[in-house]
Structure 1
Amino acid sequence: MPRSNSDVEALLEIGTEHLPARFVSPGLSQMSASAARLLQDDRLPCAEIKVYGTLRRLALHLLGLSRHSNALERTLTGPPAGLLKDSQGNFTAQAAGFAKAQGVRPEELETVRGPKGEVLAVRRVTPGEPAIQVLSRVFPAIIRGLEFAKNMEWEGSRFQFARPIRSITALYGERIVPFSLAGISSGNKTQGAAIGSDKIRIASPAGYVGSLRDHCILVDTEERRGALSKTLDGALRASPGVRLEKDSGLLDELVYLTEHPVAVGGRFSRDFLGLPPFLLTTVLKKQLKFFPLQEAAGKLFPGFIGIRDGVSEAQDTVREGYERVLEARLCDARFYFDRDRRSSLRAKTDALRRAAFQRDMGSMHDKMERTVELAIWICGALWRKRLPLDLGCVEAIARLAYADLVTEIVGEFPELQGSSGGYYARLDGEEERVALGIEEFHYPLSSRSPLPTHLEGSVVALAGKMDSLAALFLAGHRPTGSEDPFALRRAGTGIVRIVLEKQLPISLPQLAAQARRLIEKGGAPSENRKAASYPGAGHFEADLREFLWQRAQACFQESGYPMDEIRSVEEGGLDHLAVTFKRLAALSALRAHEDFGELVTAFKRAANILRQAGPALVSDLSEVDRNLVTAEAELSLFEALGRAEKSLFEKLNRDEYERALRELIKLRPFVDRFFESVRVMDCEEAVKRNRLALLLKLASLFKSVADISQLQITAAPAAVANPSGE
């Protein structure tokens, strides 16, 4: 809304102890959304909402705020207007009762037109309130409504928030918006750049950002991001010949870990360059939030750039402190690495016996053995489809893929699973293909991250993920709502992406069933439990099928396909996902064909007739008897179906789904004439059954590509309304 000269600004700042960086951005988003909703509910117009945040403050800036909320006029209706007075001219009991209930005199009742005619009514006007009065309710409601991944409860107030609240700045123009929360009264002062520093007085919301900037606090997120990038560039110029990759994740984190970022360059001993590069960068980036430096050739340089929070004072002292801390961390990392190198990766697999996987699902060694067997089973399925696979490579990857779980490095840095295993495999002299498969065993890590590079690695990654899904679904750990403690959605998405993008001709329901058989065969080492007694055993197949289809559906939607098209390929869709995707693409491509909408309508009509005939009758239908085909339109459709069937399956065998669908579109005139002139539900039973068999054949041909009855057609002709075919 446009601002007027009478509009004012308002400010709410929540000053806290240090917030985790990951809490700041979601907190600001919630503040903005909550403010918009609450102001609308209270009818207080606001032209613009801005948010600012750092590790020590979350701020809301309202611009173009009206001085008063809008008045609310309501009309409360009652009995019919004819009941206002009786024949004597006196107010009726109904009218008097309605007036009393609304707190007015009967003489104040009005007449308005309602949906059922004229009725008695009372008009109520709720006057607007001064903005400061509204804000004294809205501001504390915003604070109370903020939700974080974890909350703390502190001091006598027992208030819960991400971190203890230490100040609340609340201004309407130059006036303080009065309220108390968490044992703190609102005011016009905020905390300074450092704990224990003098409070900063905020004269007005308009001067908030500038006042903090004057005290070396860059509260505007984008201004702080620009300052961070600039100070990094400045520090990099002090080290000619090296370059820095501005990791977006680390940049985002540091934006919310600082209020005035200043770069500090430092060095470390070249001896530490002997550590695995991924280990060195993990210590720098994950543990200490430092930016690694690289030489022109791409190799790591023995230096870093750290980010301090505050002004550029005593830089040498800060640098020395950073270097001491880094050296200690790198010494620890080298200690873990040296201990890991005392034995080979193959030797470490025995230690997996002492690492539990899940209750009643054995150890990680048991899981490794199941993964080996399942990967071999997948190889057999793919060999039958003539896909070339190195079984020795597959088995080696599967046997070593979990070995790094018992290494010192992964114990300290769990995120290095896979990377450390692949690195150690190379040091042990394993084939590069095996080492790469181990390194990429956990791929993909997200819905868009890379897949395993080669087919052998993809097979093992698929086996490991399916074993995890099967075991945890049997144990009753299906994800619910936002809860997914075992990251099963990520595993399911990984399975779908590997099968889909690698175009593996494998049935996911069959793969899940084989994974279950292997779990049953192994049993639980402690109890030798029967798999049927697992909590999720009774509905395992249905639950896992539904779960995997949801993952596939999400992938299809991400590719831009609408839900009705996705539903049309759901039946049998998990049997060969790559083929399902081709069917979906063909359907989408031909949906705009001029005859397609009419054909869908006719198909739905056929499906409706078959549904009304009942499953018992339909399942008992025989092949179409040519001798019972008598009507001309019926014969034309019968012959057209015969021609289409032969051509259709030739194209399906060549995976030409779009061309197959074009064959079906050619049936449209024959289907139209059939429904125009043939009575399907004939009084003669044999003729009726034969015509139903003809429709069943039509439906079956279409379903070999897609169930087009699932498609939504915007303008369906009226003829659909006759399900009997008359």
Structure 2
Amino acid sequence: MATFLFEAGLEEIPARMVAPAQAELARRVVDLLQRERLLGPDAEVKSYSTPRRLTVCLSAVFESQADVIEQLTGPSWSIAFKDGVPTGAAQAFAKKAGVEIGALTKLTNAKGEYVSATVKKPGRKAAEVLTELLPRELTALYWPKNMYWRAGKPERFVRPVKWLLALLDHAIVPVEFAGVHAANLTYGHRILHGGHAVTINHPSDYLAALEAAKVMPDPDARRHKIRKALDAVTRTVPGARWREDEPLVETVTHLTEWPQVVLGGFEPEYLSLPEEVLVTVMRDHQKYFAVEDAAGKLAPHFLAVLNTETDEQGLATIRHGNERVLRARFNDARFFWNFDQKIPLSERLELLKTVTFQKDLGSYHQKTEANLSLVTALAALLRERGIQFDHSALETATRLAKTDLTAELVKEFTELQGVVGGLYARAQGLGETAAQAIYWQYRPASSEDAIPPTVEGQLLGLADRFQTLTAMFALGLEPTGSKDPFALRRAANGVVKILADSALPLTFDDLLDASGELSPATRSSLTAFLRERVEFYLREARGIAYDVVNAVLAAGSADLPDAVARAEALSTVRDSADFAAISAAFKRSKNILRQAAEKLAFKEEIAATGVVEALLADPAEATLYRETRRLAPLVEELRSRREYGHALEQAATLRPHVDLFFDKVMVMAPEADLRQNRLALIAMVLASFSTIADFSEMVAPVKASSDAA
């Protein structure tokens, strides 16, 4: 067995695209080798990346495929041989199979007698397979944005390919992509190694050779080095610590090949600006880490991660340059902050008439009016349901929520949209409640974000997102496939998370009803879209298994906190033997009822209330009926109190009675009255215990017994 090393060298890849591409390349190469029977069972897979390279290294690669013995089937024997003499059909088949006529044999199967040939298909060399197929895997890599860089050539990639390294042990694999031919060469750090070529004689030399050329190919090693350097450099400031920011750590990891950290400072006078503004300038625009004091307050320092290595004199020069750039950015921010205060938010509302929301939906002024209409309707619902909130602050926040779009600070630092509005509202004395609602209006931006902490903020966030959804869907602009130009999936995810994580007693139907007149088609499309987003939330944000999600949503998802609670309860009991068995029985019952509906026009919703006790002839069915009548009220009482765990445990106690029923009773009895009554019984059982979840959707590991029917 051999070790295969492959590296694609590129111009600098955008940091956000590096890690997904690294993982996908490794997966594709592994799949390719497995598919071609070239990867041993004990293969070790390692992948690396820097801004200029994607690498995968696999051990236990077979140098060639094993030969394969195949039995080929040809025409029928009667056509291939007439009176024992081979016909043209036999000769053609033998030629195709690469065997002599005399090697053909007779194969008898259920369809008849056919000509057969046993052939040996020799395995191909690994280098030959990789040379042919690996370029296809490179071409298939997904990139959010691709580019052409060779005139008249078809290949597209995230950045121009500069070199390829492909080794199977010591041998170069002659892979070619985009006019670049693989060799045993890679390249070191642009500055610290002068960008010179580095010869790799064997895959085992790869890491050490690049380390010597001032490149750390392993992103985990770079990440660890960056964190240690951040800690070490920050300790030079008494009582200080760098502000933890995992996404920024990830970004600088994929921006560097040989990282070093430098500490810089800025004048304390800039701390008079809001912390959110200072951190955004440092983080989003300069990729600097903020530093805070022991009390958690921002300190007049920052940390920059460099993609180089230098001495103290060099660091001093770099520090001075970074401080100068940051000072200019802070001056801009301070100027815009002071300039914006000359026009209060209340006077900016009229300016929104000149800011387009969407060409067919008008301006942000019109968007604000639509938001206000929806907020007013939802606020009325909440008051009816006993929820306390500041209606005046909510109205103020809704009217002024978008006005910071006209502020110079937001135009310069678009990441601060909403945040700036909240800060300006506080500075202008509009009240903390309104300021908080404006500040939090765009949260959550992801499943990891917290929802707005106040009812006013939650209502504003819901109304803003839901109004956008209804308006866009009414125009037929719903997302299709991977295309979502208006970020409607993100908007819907925010709606779902706010409803799921808050105490707001609102359902999707409440939101739809409050949105005014919607066509049946729009309402149907939006309902399906929201259900899809609920599935996504439960699976991705809550980590709930797909079959549990399906089971819970089949029983209803209008009350999202309730759906989450049911899903979590179901997850805790799903692996118990009793529950798995009763899930299988429910699935079986549903199948029987479906078949009866198709063949006998059986109506489940009517029959579920029509069990005739006198017709329960078999003791097993009488017992199931009696136990269902006894357990159903108890389960329903527990369900009404949202004690779903206890309710599911009680439902699972029905298992022995269900098992006995299916073992002893023929559901599809020849007597029409018995058959109808037994169908009604299992319909009653399903209806009685499916209000928490549709257990038939569960993938149960326990195998159900065969149906006596």
Question: TM-score scaled by structure 1?
Answer: 0.83
By how many angstroms is 1:225 displaced?
2.3
By how many angstroms is 1:389 displaced?
2.5
User: Retained in 1: the 8 A contact 2:608–2:683?
Assistant: no
The aligned runs of 1:437-586 (5 Å cut-off) are 437-517=437-517, 537=519, 539-558=521-540, 559=542, 561-570=544-553, 573-584=556-567
Matching residue of 2:431? 431
User: Retained in 1: the 8 A contact 2:188–2:198?
Assistant: no
Matching residue of 1:271? 269
User: Retained in 1: the 8 A contact 2:584–2:696?
Assistant: no
CA distance in 2, matches of 1:243, 1:318: 21
By how many angstroms is 1:82 displaced?
7.7
Matched residue type, 1:108: A
CA distance in 2, matches of 1:42, 1:606: 44
By how many angstroms is 1:508 displaced?
0.9
CA distance in 1, matches of 2:364, 2:341: 21
CA distance in 2, matches of 1:232, 1:219: 20
Matching residue of 1:165? 161
By how many angstroms is 1:471 displaced?
1.0
By how many angstroms is 1:169 displaced?
3.0
Change (3 A) 1:564 1:130: closer
Matching residue of 1:32? 26
By how many angstroms is 1:427 displaced?
0.8
CA distance in 1, matches of 2:609, 2:544: 36
What are the superposed Cα offsets for residues 299-320 of structure 1, whole Å, 9 maximum, x if unpaired? 2222212122222142222222
The aligned runs of 1:207-226 (5 Å cut-off) are 207-226=205-224
By how many angstroms is 1:441 displaced?
1.2
Q: Pick from 33, 39, 45: which aligns with 1:45?
A: 39
User: Retained in 1: the 8 A contact 2:555–2:691?
Assistant: no
Matching residue of 1:184? 180
User: Retained in 1: the 8 A contact 2:597–2:603?
Assistant: no
User: Retained in 2: the 8 A contact 1:18–1:163?
Assistant: yes
By how many angstroms is 1:268 displaced?
1.7
Matched residue type, 2:25: M
User: Retained in 2: the 8 A contact 1:469–1:488?
Assistant: yes
By how many angstroms is 1:244 displaced?
0.9
The aligned runs of 1:239-318 (5 Å cut-off) are 239-313=237-311, 314-318=314-318
Matching residue of 2:147? 152
The alignment status of 1:611 with 2:597, answered yes or no, reads: yes
The alignment status of 1:357 with 2:357, answered yes or no, reads: yes
Change (3 A) 1:699 1:417: same
Change (3 A) 1:668 1:85: closer
Matching residue of 1:197? 194
CA distance in 1, matches of 2:161, 2:608: 76
CA distance in 1, matches of 2:108, 2:596: 50
The aligned runs of 1:331-346 (5 Å cut-off) are 331-346=331-346
CA distance in 1, matches of 2:571, 2:200: 60
Please state whether the residue corresponding to 1:326 is helix, strand or coil: helix
Change (3 A) 1:320 1:705: closer
What are the superposed Cα offsets for residues 306-347 of structure 1, whole Å, 9 maximum, x if unpaired? 122222142222222212222222222222222222222222
By how many angstroms is 1:701 displaced?
4.5
Identity score, percent: 32
CA distance in 2, matches of 1:582, 1:445: 23
Change (3 A) 1:681 1:613: farther
CA distance in 2, matches of 1:665, 1:198: 67
Q: Pick from 11, 24, 46: which aligns with 1:17?
A: 11
User: Retained in 2: the 8 A contact 1:421–1:438?
Assistant: yes
Change (3 A) 1:18 1:507: closer
Q: Which stretch of the first structure deviates more once superposed, 286-295 or 507-516?
A: 507-516
By how many angstroms is 1:56 displaced?
1.8
What are the superposed Cα offsets for residues 81-135 of structure 1, whole Å, 9 maximum, x if unpaired? 6877655x54355433321333433123345676768754333334344444444
Change (3 A) 1:720 1:494: farther
- Provide structure 2 residue ranges, at least 5 long, that are not aligned to the other structure: none
User: Retained in 2: the 8 A contact 1:285–1:291?
Assistant: yes
Matching residue of 1:4? none
The alignment status of 1:136 with 2:136, answered yes or no, reads: no
By how many angstroms is 1:423 displaced?
1.4
- Provide structure 1 residue ranges, at least 5 long, that are not aligned to the other structure: 1-6, 518-530, 532-536, 722-726
CA distance in 1, matches of 2:597, 2:688: 17
User: Retained in 2: the 8 A contact 1:12–1:139?
Assistant: no
Change (3 A) 1:689 1:394: farther
Matching residue of 1:366? 366
Q: Which stretch of the first structure deviates more once superposed, 573-582 or 396-405?
A: 573-582
What are the superposed Cα offsets for residues 193-228 of structure 1, whole Å, 9 maximum, x if unpaired? 227935223141322222222222222222322332
What are the superposed Cα offsets for residues 563-617 of structure 1, whole Å, 9 maximum, x if unpaired? 4554444467243233344455566667655794597379648955983698897
User: Retained in 2: the 8 A contact 1:607–1:699?
Assistant: no
Q: Which stretch of the first structure deviates more once superposed, 601-610 or 96-105?
A: 601-610
CA distance in 2, matches of 1:392, 1:86: 97
Please state whether the residue corresponding to 2:443 is helix, strand or coil: coil
Matching residue of 1:520? none
Please state whether the residue corresponding to 1:546 is helix, strand or coil: helix
Q: Pick from 48, 54, 57: which aligns with 2:53?
A: 57
User: Retained in 1: the 8 A contact 2:593–2:604?
Assistant: no
Please state whether the residue corresponding to 1:201 is helix, strand or coil: strand
By how many angstroms is 1:59 displaced?
2.6
User: Retained in 2: the 8 A contact 1:610–1:618?
Assistant: no
User: Retained in 1: the 8 A contact 2:552–2:566?
Assistant: yes
CA distance in 2, matches of 1:678, 1:185: 70
CA distance in 1, matches of 2:219, 2:429: 49
Matched residue type, 2:273: L
By how many angstroms is 1:236 displaced?
2.2
User: Retained in 1: the 8 A contact 2:586–2:695?
Assistant: yes
The alignment status of 1:600 with 2:586, answered yes or no, reads: yes
Please state whether the residue corresponding to 1:78 is helix, strand or coil: strand
By how many angstroms is 1:649 displaced?
6.5
By how many angstroms is 1:190 displaced?
3.2
What are the superposed Cα offsets for residues 615-673 of structure 1, whole Å, 9 maximum, x if unpaired? 89778899879xx9755779999998888787777666545556667787788999988
Change (3 A) 1:504 1:681: farther
User: Retained in 1: the 8 A contact 2:665–2:708?
Assistant: no
Question: TM-score scaled by structure 2?
Answer: 0.85
Matching residue of 1:235? 233
Change (3 A) 1:219 1:420: same
By how many angstroms is 1:404 displaced?
2.0
Q: How many residues align?
A: 692
By how many angstroms is 1:171 displaced?
3.4
Q: Which stretch of the first structure deviates more once superposed, 323-332 or 468-477?
A: 323-332
By how many angstroms is 1:470 displaced?
0.8
User: Retained in 2: the 8 A contact 1:30–1:146?
Assistant: yes
Matched residue type, 2:146: N
By how many angstroms is 1:395 displaced?
1.7
Change (3 A) 1:209 1:421: same
User: Retained in 2: the 8 A contact 1:492–1:551?
Assistant: yes
User: Retained in 1: the 8 A contact 2:608–2:687?
Assistant: no
By how many angstroms is 1:185 displaced?
3.4
Matched residue type, 2:263: G
User: Retained in 2: the 8 A contact 1:505–1:578?
Assistant: no
Change (3 A) 1:119 1:411: same
